[in-house]
Structures are given as structure tokens and as C-alpha cells.
């Protein structure tokens, strides 16, 4: 990092440091310098050597070493740098030349902050002058796009945020400041865990959070009057498991004295007492649910009985700053915690049915859209009770601060609801915390009613003490923001029925709707419906019986379905799988039809709804099946059941679907009941949509119902009870009869209806084609070929042959046509046997026999070519495998031996040619034995050389080659492992190994080993087991 700054700062220039007060601080990994000029602070950017650490030389000790690129010296490169321009980041109101100014980097750039070549680095900086102090975020950005300066140097720019929660004023001038990161963590620790110690002129050390410096956490007196303590120095202490997390700082005086101050983190009691006192300072003793808050947080009696001063605007602003810091809603981002800074809150349900809170310290530097780092338990940090109460108090104080704070209140309530999820009465949220939330929400609702409707204070509001200035939002837009905040609060405390009732009441109130819709921030009808849909969907997806029962019994659900059927239906189908992949990964317990009662109750509710509007036209969708207009309860129920069964979302049919008969499902018939309900609804729709005087012609809606009914009957995953539905079908539903008969396995009757009564060979062939596709799919799933004994086209041939007894030639011609159209799929031998014996061969030759013979011969040739290619590939892969095995076992560094952990090789013997004891066979190979001595092992290598093949004749390959030590004369050397070879081709050499466990201390003299070389002789092209033994 290089800086050239001759005249960057304004007159009178940088201030001198007083004692150890830092008038200048390096931030963002040294890329920016924060300098004090009078009562202002300026940030001076730097230039980066992007080549440093990239393999080239670096500048060291201010010498003249060359840069990584070229031979430019430091003096030449620095002389060519352009002037940097300082940026003013903050100006304090006080201008004191007596007391020091302080610039302190509280939190560094985070993990990897030492990598100064990163595009952006951000630091949290504390600035102090006189009695004022503030914290802000300073960001350094490398300008890499516009090219660098001489020597590979790249300029940077700096930018700063506004102070977090403004400027804080202490009772006495600030002399020194120190950052206190957690034990064992450096300056890159997140600000949620970092504290700041401020030494003031009255001899007090104030401990505060850098995200909310206006709120004191604790104070320690180190000096006496007159105070001569002037500096603070932190002492790093390694973290220890189970430690108290205390941080230590040393305060030193001009008189040579020093005090060691131990700062411990806040406990639950400290947090509860501070929150209650700040609330009393803000609202007064009776302006908020004081007793309920004390019970929820566990505040002490002294804090509960605290009287406090008259509420002022400063007290309200201070409480808002503190709560936003705790909840992580301050401008610095991040989450909150009892450490008063940035923790991300995640509240979920535990295994016991309660609520579990987890927090994330946000220390990572990923993008906003990236998933957060892994959370940890927050049982000792911000719990659900504290989260609820803090959010409720923040909404209340924002309401008193005026319209400008309405968005902050809504954001806080929405974040709390997102963190808490769907709160159930059986959770571990206390009744006191729920009471605080509920009381604050009710108060906001009363105030909003008065504001939106009449602009006056509600008559039921509690009277405030005399002299308390109450700032009220005066616009309907802000009133609707607070209305939404109250709804989120009711949802956070589990008052879902109350929240639905309030929303429905406001939606049906003309005065409230007219007043809110006339403002810029008012709610339209679609916004009311969308909010209601979101709430009902969360309740339904919670899978809690009470929450799901509330959705079904609430009048808001029925009115939403009648007013906006699409949104209302989305409440029940939003949790259903939407494609085949989601259906495949679905657990059995998550099936939409797995519950014994909820699907049936949903269907009853949907059938009872009467949406407005007349019959709309059916719109075509994929697959030729029209989409029903949601203009009746029947259409709503059909849409729900199609989503629940999966027929409209591509649910894969079960492999055993064809084996299920008449709804015999493992769930006791519950799924079959819903499938039957869907089939009867579709049948009812077809009958109801058919006009009286139209000759039985279906309307567009009736045609859509009929298409859906046929799709359900033909779907392999359908669980309908076919016999029951067959008895209910009108006689005119011939195609539906055929589909049901096919589900019952009566294929000849089904084909008789399609071919004889409907007179359509195309429909009959389509029926057989579907059966063929299912057979092939089942065979692929089972991993075998399709069965040839159950050809789906043979029943059709039988039907067409017997369709017209008076004209057998017509049936025979139709059978020949079937054979000609499906000659590649039909069982030819069985089909020919079914034809009449007097049928001339000439009538079969051209349409069927000749094309079938040509196709079979072509298929046979293709199979022979494929077989030859596969054999060639098999031989090549087998040869490569043998060569790889021979190479891997060629020496003692074999991977198989390395895995044994034999240790360091001590010595190796010279190779000895093996001599067989018995008469050798003509195939016995040359064997060379080598011994390798390790500390606790003896390894014997048998290098086997197979003889090459004779000229003009096939050679013999050695298979299953192994070197075995059959007997040892001493127990100190015993066999441990053999490494054989599967094959040694003619003319090749391979090594087999035998590992023996050796105990030299127990060896008595020499040891004699009896060994065998075992192998099998095979022809070079022989693959099967067998051959001659060796």
C-alpha cells in the first residue's frame, strides 16, 4: 500500500496525537487513513501494488527493490503517483483543541481482511472529539477497471456511511478509546461480539456497543478527582472452553498508576433491567405493558419499580436506537443479540413441538443473496420472548415518533414474523411475552382506526401523563404501515384467529377501505387478498392440527375463495409437489392425501363455495386437456384433487399401479376415496354441463370435464374403485366403459366396445399401444425384457376376427391390417396361429410377411455387428486391465503393499532363480525370488515370466497366479498376506507377493520356508474358468 499526500488535507492540517489518543487510524487493511483536521475527520485513500505476493519481488524496508513488473524502483513509482483527494466523512459540532480527537478501527475487514487486493474492504470506525462520538462504516474500493498507475499500482476510492444512530454525547470529554474483541479473536471479530471502552476526563471507563454508542452498558471508575488517567490499552487473552468471555483493558495515569479492568458480557438479567428502564424513560410508567414486559424478560424488582424522568423525544429516540441494534435492524445491517449488535435470527420448531431460536453472527463476507453461514444455538443470547417483546416495543416507539418511522416498524414486525415462523400455542413462548405483543398490537389497531378514519386519537387509548409530547402519524399511508405491523405482531404471538378477524373486518369496512385506498400507501383489494392468502398458506403448511383447523373454519377462507378463487385455492395447493422430481423425492408422510381427514374436509369446503361470475370458456393447456374455469365449487374441488393426486403435475405412476385393484391401497383406502371423489366430480360435471335440447353435445366446460375424466381413467397411478364407478356410468359413456373394463383386466370387452360399438380401429390401436408402453416401462424398471406371452395386440386380433360372423373375410382383412400396422410389436407366431386356416398366403405376403422378414433380418444383422463390437471392446478393456495389474505390482512400491504400513525398507536380497522340487511341467514359467526385509515383516517377491507363444500357434496364459508359503519351520515367521495376479499373458512378466510377519527377537537360528507357486494354464483366448493346474 502506497500513499502520496502532499496537500490532500485542508488547512490547518492534521492534528497531533495527544498522549496515546489516535488522531489517525489505518483502516480497511491499511488502504485508507482516517485523519482528524480540527473538528472534522477525513479519509485518505491509497494505491495498491497488485503484483505484491504474486510471485514477484516486493518492496521491503523502504529500500529500492524492484516491483514485480518491470524494473521500476520504489522512488520512481512513488514519484509518479497522482495526488489523492481526501474525503470528509464526519464533522462534530464541538471544536476543542484541549481534549484529544480519536479515530479507532473497531472492527476490521472480516475474514481474509489481510488480503488488501480484494475489490472492497469495509471497516467499522469509531470517531470521537470532545464529548461527542459516533461509529460509521468506511469502505475502500479498488479501481481496477480503469487501469493502474506506474509499476502496477492501482488507485482506490473511499466512501463512508452516515453515523449509526447519529452522534452520542457523553457527560465528560473523551480521553482515550479501545476496542475489546472477544477473547481469542482479533480485530476481524464481528461487531456483535466487539465492545468499545471509552475513558473520559472524570476518570470513568464507559463500556458500550459500537453499533449503539448512545446506550451505556456499564461504567467503571478508575481515576480520582483530579483525574490523571489518560490511556486505555486492551490485553489480548486466549479463549478457553467454558470461559466467562471477559475482556481486559489497562488504564494508565501520568502518576505511574495503572488499573486492570475486566469487562464481562451482559447476562440475561442485565439485558432485562436495561430494556425495562429504557422503556420507562421512553413511555413513562403506564404508557406500555410494564408488568407483562418485566415478567416476560425476568427483570428485577428494582428495575420494575424504576420511576424515571418525564418521557421525552430523546428517550424515544434512544430506545429506538437500542432496539434496532438489538434486533439487527440498524443501518449497519446484520442481526442482533444481547450483545447489542449484528446477529441473524433464525427461529424454528424443535423436536418437542416448541420453538428454537438460532442466531448467526454474520461474520462472513458473502453476497446478500448467498445462504448464511451455519447457525449456532442462541439459548444464552436473544430468546423468543426477548425477540417478541423487543419487536413489539420497537413498533410502539416508532408509532410515537411519527410517520417517518412507520416503515421501520413494519420491517421489524415482518422480520420477527419471518424469524419466528408459524407460532403455535404449544411453543416455548411465554404467555407474558405473548401478552406484550397482543397488547401493543391492540393499541396500534385502535390508533390506526382513529388515524385512517378520522385523524383523531381513539377514545379508548390510555391517557398519557401531563407534559408528555406525543408525536402522531398524520397520514393514512403511515397508518396502513402500522396496521400491517399490528397484524404481523398478532401473528408473532400466535393470535392467528384474531389477526384473520381483524383483517377481514377491515376489508369489509367501507369507511376503512375508502380512507386507506385513497392514500398513496393504501391497500387495494388485491393486496388485502394477497396478505390473507400468505397468512392462510403459512397456517396450512405448518401441519399443526389447530392451525389447519383454523384455516378450514375461518370465515375469511370461504370469503377469499368466493372473491378470488385462484388465490384461495393456492392456500391448499401451495405445498403440493409441482413436478415429477418433487413427487419422486416426496417422503411417504408428506403425501397430500396421507392425512385421514384434512383432504376430505378441504373438498367439502371447496364444494360449498359459490364463486361469482358465469360459466367461462375452458382454455386449452398442454396435452390436449382443457383447463376448467373456477366458476363453481365443483371446479375448485376438481382442481384441488388433481393437484393432490398428482395427475396434473406429472406424478410418476407407481411400479405396482397395475397390481392394485379396486382401491386396495396400503393407507386403508383413504387415497382411493379421494380418487373416487375426483372421478364422481368429473362425471357429475360432464352430466351437468350437457344441455337438454342439444342432442347430447358437450359444452366447452363439459368437454373439459370429459377429457379430465378419461385422463384419470387412463392414468396408471389412478386408485379409483373401478367396479363401483362402472355401475354408475350412464350407458352412453362407451369410451369410459372401455377404460374401466381395461383397468379390471377385461381387455377383450374393452376392445369390443372401441372397435365394434364405436367403430374405431384407431381407438383400439391406441388402447393397445398404451398397454404396450406400460409393459415396456415395467420391464425397464424390473431390469428385464418385456413378456412375450401377454401381447396386447392379440386380444384386438381376436376381437376383429369375431366382430362380423356374417362376413369373415372383412374380419380377416382387419386382422391383417392390424398385423401390418404393428408388425414390429406384435407376437408374430401367436398372431399367425389365430388367423383362419383358409386365408391365402398372398393376402399376408405383401402387407405383413415380406416386411416382417426384412425387418427381422436387418435386426439380426444389427445385433451381430453390435455383438462383435462389444466383444472387441471387452477384449481391449481386459488387456488394459491385465497390463495395469502387472504394472501396479511390479516392485515393492506397490499400492497394495503401501497400505500395509510396513515402514522403512531395511535391505533387499539379490534375486534367486527358483528350482521346483518335483518334476516340472512343460508350462512351468521362470521364477525369480527376491526378499525384502522390514522391521516387522518379510516380503517375498516371485517374478513370474511366462513363455512366449510359439510361432503360428496360440500361447498359454497363466491365470490365478499366487505365491504361497505353505509351511514355516519357526513360529517367528508366519504368513500374513498374499498378493496374487489374475492373469499373465504369453511373453509377459508379472510379480506376485507374499507378506510374512516376522519377530526377530523370537527367531532361533535359521528358518526354513516351504513355498508353492500356484497357477492355472489356459489358452490365450480362454475366458471361462478351467484349464490345466500348475
pLDDT of residue 21: 54
Taking residue 64's Cβ as centre, other Cβ atoms within 10 Å add up to 9
CA distance 317 to 398: 9
Mean pLDDT of 71-88: 70
Beta strand pairing status for 168-169 and 153-160?
Answer: unpaired
CA distance 13 to 16: 9
Nearest to 327, CA basis, from 296, 359, 303, 299: 359
Break the chain down into helix, strand, coil percent, rounded to 5: 40, 20, 40
pLDDT at 218 over 60: yes
pLDDT at 710 over 60: yes
Helix axes 268-283, 313-327, angle to 10 degrees: 150
Q: Are the C-beta atoms of 174 and 99 separated by less than 8 Å?
A: yes
pLDDT of residue 341: 33
pLDDT at 529 over 70: yes
pLDDT in tens, 858-889: 989 999 999 999 999 998 998 899 899 888 88
Place of cell 372421478: 679
Residues 6 or more apart whose Cβ sits within 8 Å of residue 518 = 476
Sheet of 212-221, strands arranged across:
174-180, 195-200, 204-209, 212-221
pLDDT at 578 over 80: yes
Place of cell 501396479: 888
The 8 Å CB, 24+ separation contacts for 780-789 are: 781/655, 782/655, 788/827
pLDDT at 749 over 90: yes
pLDDT in tens, 338-359: 433 333 333 333 444 333 333 3
CA distance 357 to 492: 14
Residue 435 backbone phi and psi in degrees, to 5: -65, -40
CA distance 570 to 809: 59
CA distance 954 to 285: 106
pLDDT of residue 145: 64
CA distance 117 to 121: 9
Taking residue 95's Cβ as centre, other Cβ atoms within 10 Å add up to 11
CA distance 257 to 255: 6
CA distance 60 to 51: 14
Cα angle, residue 323 at apex, residues 317 and 329 outer, rounded to 5°: 105
Q: Which residues pair with 177 in a beta bridge?
A: 198
pLDDT of residue 744: 92
Q: Are the C-beta atoms of 296 and 430 separated by less than 8 Å?
A: yes
Nearest to 473, CA basis, from 407, 384, 552: 407
pLDDT of residue 372: 34
CA distance 775 to 716: 12
Taking residue 317's Cβ as centre, other Cβ atoms within 10 Å add up to 17
Q: Are the C-beta atoms of 134 and 127 separated by less than 8 Å?
A: yes
Q: Are the C-beta atoms of 481 and 405 separated by less than 8 Å?
A: no
Mean pLDDT of 292-304: 91
Taking residue 336's Cβ as centre, other Cβ atoms within 10 Å add up to 29
Q: Are the C-beta atoms of 993 and 938 separated by less than 8 Å?
A: no
pLDDT in tens, 469-504: 343 444 667 888 888 899 999 998 888 999 999 988
For residue 76, the surrounding DSSP H or E stretch is helix 74-79
pLDDT of residue 193: 72
Q: How confident is the model at residue 58 (pLDDT cuts 50, 70, 90)?
A: very low
Instruction: For residue 413, give the C-alpha cell.
Output: 414486525
Instruction: For residue 388, give the C-alpha cell.
Output: 417478541
Place of cell 386403508: 668
CA distance 314 to 168: 11
pLDDT at 676 over 80: yes
Least confident of 382-391, 619-628, 867-876, 909-918: 619-628
Distances (CA, A) of 698 to 617, 639, 685, 690, 739: 13, 20, 10, 5, 20
Which segments of 579-674 are extended strands (E)? 619-620, 626-627
pLDDT of residue 1012: 86
Nearest to 133, CA basis, from 93, 97, 74: 93
CA distance 908 to 930: 7
What is the phi-psi region of residue 692: left when phi exceeds 0, alpha when psi lies from -120 to 50, beta otherwise? alpha
In the chain, % of residues over pLDDT 90: 28
Residues 6 or more apart whose Cβ sits within 8 Å of residue 639 = 569, 573, 628, 630, 648
Which segments of 161-246 are extended strands (E)? 168-169, 174-180, 195-200, 204-209, 212-221, 229-235
Q: Are the C-beta atoms of 959 and 1015 separated by less than 8 Å?
A: yes
CA distance 683 to 675: 12
Q: How confident is the model at residue 336 (pLDDT cuts 50, 70, 90)?
A: very low
Amino acid at each position: 500500500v502506497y500513499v502520496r499526500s502532499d496537500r490532500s488535507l485542508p488547512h490547518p492540517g492534521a492534528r497531533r496525537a495527544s498522549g496515546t489518543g489516535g488522531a489517525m487510524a489505518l483502516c480497511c487493511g491499511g488502504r485508507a487513513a482516517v485523519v482528524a483536521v480540527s473538528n472534522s475527520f477525513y479519509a485518505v485513500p491509497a494505491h495498491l501494488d497488485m503484483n505484491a505476493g504474486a510471485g514477484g519481488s516486493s518492496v521491503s524496508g523502504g529500500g529500492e527493490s524492484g516491483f514485480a513488473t518491470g524494473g521500476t524502483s520504489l522512488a520512481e513509482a512513488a514519484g509518479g503517483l497522482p495526488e489523492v483527494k481526501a474525503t470528509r466523512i464526519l464533522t462534530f459540532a464541538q471544536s476543542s483543541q484541549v481534549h484529544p480527537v480519536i479515530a479507532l478501527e473497531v472492527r476490521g475487514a472480516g475474514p481474509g481482511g489481510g488480503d488488501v487486493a480484494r475489490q472492497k474492504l469495509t471497516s467499522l470506525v469509531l470517531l470521537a472529539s470532545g464529548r461527542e462520538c459516533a461509529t460509521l462504516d468506511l469502505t475502500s474500493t479498488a479501481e481496477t477497471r480503469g487501469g493502474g498507475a506506474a509499476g502496477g499500482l492501482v488507485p482506490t476510492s473511499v466512501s463512508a456511511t452516515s453515523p449509526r444512530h447519529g452522534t452520542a454525547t457523553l457527560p465528560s470529554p473523551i480521553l482515550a478509546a479501545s476496542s475489546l474483541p472477544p477473547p481469542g479473536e482479533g480485530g476481524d471479530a464481528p461487531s456483535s461480539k466487539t465492545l468499545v471502552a471509552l475513558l473520559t476526563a472524570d476518570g470513568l471507563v464507559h463500556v458500550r456497543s459500537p453499533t449503539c454508542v448512545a446506550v451505556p452498558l456499564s461504567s467503571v471508575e478508575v481515576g480520582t478527582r483530579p483525574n490523571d488517567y489518560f490511556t486505555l490499552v486492551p490485553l489480548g487473552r486466549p479463549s478457553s472452553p467454558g470461559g466467562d468471555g471477559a475482556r481486559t483493558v489497562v488504564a494508565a495515569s501520568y502518576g505511574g498508576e495503572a488499573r486492570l479492568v475486566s469487562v464481562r458480557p451482559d447476562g440475561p438479567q442485565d439485558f432485562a433491567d436495561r430494556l425495562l428502564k429504557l422503556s420507562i424513560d421512553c413511555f413513562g410508567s403506564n404508557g406500555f405493558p410494564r408488568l407483562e414486559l418485566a415478567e416476560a424478560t425476568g427483570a428485577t424488582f428494582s428495575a420494575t419499580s424504576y420511576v424515571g424522568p418525564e418521557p421525552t423525544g430523546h428517550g424515544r429516540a434512544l430506545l429506538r436506537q437500542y432496539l434496532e441494534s438489538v434486533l439487527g435492524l440498524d443501518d449497519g445491517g446484520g442481526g442482533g443479540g444481547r450483545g447489542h449488535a449484528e446477529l441473524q435470527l433464525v427461529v424454528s420448531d424443535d423436536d418437542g413441538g416448541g420453538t428454537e431460536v438460532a442466531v448467526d453472527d454474520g461474520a462472513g463476507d458473502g453476497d446478500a443473496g448467498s445462504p448464511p453461514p451455519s447457525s449456532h444455538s442462541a439459548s444464552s443470547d436473544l430468546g423468543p420472548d426477548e425477540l417478541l417483546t423487543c419487536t413489539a416495543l420497537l413498533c410502539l416507539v416508532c408509532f410515537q415518533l411519527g410517520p417517518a418511522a412507520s416503515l421501520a416498524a413494519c420491517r421489524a414486525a415482518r422480520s420477527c414474523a419471518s424469524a419466528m415462523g408459524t407460532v403455535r400455542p404449544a411453543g416455548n413462548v411465554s404467555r407474558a411475552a405473548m401478552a406484550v405483543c397482543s397488547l401493543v398490537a391492540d393499541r396500534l389497531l385502535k390508533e390506526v382506526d382513529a388515524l385512517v378514519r378520522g385523524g383523531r386519537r381513539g377514545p379508548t387509548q390510555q391517557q398519557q401523563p401531563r407534559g408528555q409530547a406525543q408525536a402522531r402519524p398524520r397520514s393514512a399511508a403511515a397508518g396502513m404501515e402500522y396496521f400491517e405491523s399490528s397484524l404481523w405482531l398478532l401473528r408473532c404471538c400466535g393470535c392467528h384467529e384474531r389477526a384473520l378477524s381483524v383483517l377481514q373486518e377491515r376489508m369489509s369496512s367501507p369507511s376503512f377501505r375508502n380512507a386507506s385506498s385513497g392514500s398513496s400507501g393504501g391497500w387495494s383489494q388485491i393486496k388485502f387478498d394477497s396478505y390473507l392468502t400468505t397468512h392462510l398458506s403459512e397456517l396450512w403448511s405448518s401441519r399443526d392440527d389447530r392451525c389447519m383447523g383454523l384455516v378450514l373454519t375461518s370465515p375469511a377462507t370461504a370469503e377469499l375463495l368466493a372473491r378470488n378463487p385462484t388465490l384461495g385455492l393456492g392456500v391448499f395447493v401451495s405445498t403440493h409437489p409441482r413436478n415429477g422430481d418433487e413427487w419422486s423425492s416426496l417422503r411417504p408422510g408428506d403425501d397430500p392425501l396421507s392425512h385421514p381427514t384434512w383432504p376430505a374436509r378441504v373438498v367439502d369446503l371447496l364444494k360449498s363455495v359459490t364463486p361469482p361470475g358465469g360459466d367461462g370458456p375452458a382454455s386449452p393447456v398442454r396435452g390436449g386437456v382443457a383447463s376448467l374455469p373456477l366458476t363453481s365449487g365443483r371446479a375448485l374441488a376438481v382442481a384441488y384433487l388433481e393437484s393432490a393426486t398428482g395427475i396434473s403435475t406429472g406424478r410418476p405412476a407407481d411400479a405396482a399401479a397395475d397390481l392394485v385393484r379396486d382401491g386396495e391401497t396400503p393407507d386403508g383406502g383413504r387415497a382411493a376415496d379421494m380418487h373416487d371423489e375426483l372421478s364422481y366430480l368429473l362425471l357429475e360435471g360432464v352430466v351437468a354441463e350437457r344441455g337438454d335440447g342439444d342432442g347430447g353435445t358437450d359444452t366447452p366446460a363439459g368437454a373439459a370435464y370429459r377429457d379430465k375424466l378419461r385422463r384419470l381413467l387412463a392414468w396408471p397411478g389412478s386408485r379409483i374403485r373401478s367396479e363401483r364407478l362402472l355401475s354408475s356410468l350412464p350407458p352412453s359413456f362407451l369410451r369410459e366403459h372401455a377404460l374401466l373394463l381395461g383397468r379390471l383386466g377385461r381387455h377383450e370387452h374393452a376392445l369390443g366396445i372401441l372397435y365394434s360399438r364405436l367403430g374405431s380401429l384407431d381407438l383400439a390401436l391406441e388402447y393397445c399401444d398404451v398397454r404396450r408402453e406400460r409393459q415396456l416401462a415395467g420391464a425397464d424398471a424390473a431390469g428385464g425384457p418385456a413378456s412375450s406371452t401377454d401381447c396386447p395386440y392379440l386380444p384386438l386380433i381376436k376381437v376383429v376376427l369375431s366382430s362380423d360372423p356374417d362376413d369373415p373375410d372383412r374380419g380377416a382383412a382387419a386382422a391383417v391390417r392390424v398385423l401390418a400396422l404393428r408388425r414390429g410389436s406384435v407376437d408374430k407366431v401367436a398372431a399367425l396361429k389365430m388367423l383362419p386356416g383358409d386365408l391365402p398366403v398372398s393376402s399376408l405376403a405383401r402387407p405383413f410377411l415380406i416386411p416382417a422378414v426384412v425387418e427381422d433380418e436387418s435386426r439380426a444383422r444389427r445385433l451381430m455387428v453390435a455383438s462383435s463390437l462389444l466383444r472387441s471392446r471387452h477384449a481391449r478393456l481386459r488387456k488394459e486391465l491385465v497390463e495395469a495389474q502387472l504394472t501396479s505390482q511390479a516392485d515393492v512400491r506397490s499400492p497394495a503393499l503401501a497400505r500395509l504400513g510396513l515402514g522403512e525398507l531395511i535391505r533387499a536380497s539379490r534375486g534367486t532363480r527358483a528350482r521346483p522340487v518335483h518334476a516340472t511341467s512343460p508350462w512351468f514359467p521362470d521364477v525369480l525370488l527376491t526378499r525384502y526385509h522390514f522391521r516387522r515383516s518379510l516380503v517375498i517377491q516371485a517374478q513370474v515370466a511366462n513363455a512366449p507363444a510359439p510361432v503360428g500357434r496360440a500361447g498359454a496364459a497363466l491365470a490365478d497366479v499366487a505365491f504361497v508359503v505353505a509351511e514355516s519351520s519357526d513360529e517367528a515367521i508366519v504368513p500374513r498376506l498374499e498378493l496374487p495376479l489374475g492373469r499373465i499373458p504369453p511373453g509377459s512378466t508379472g510379480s506376485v507377493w507374499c507378506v510374512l510377519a516376522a519377530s526377530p527377537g523370537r527367531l532361533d537360528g535359521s528358518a526354513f520356508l516351504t513355498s508353492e507357486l500356484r497357477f492355472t494354464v489356459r489358452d490365450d483366448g480362454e475366458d471361462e474358468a478351467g484349464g490345466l493346474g500348475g
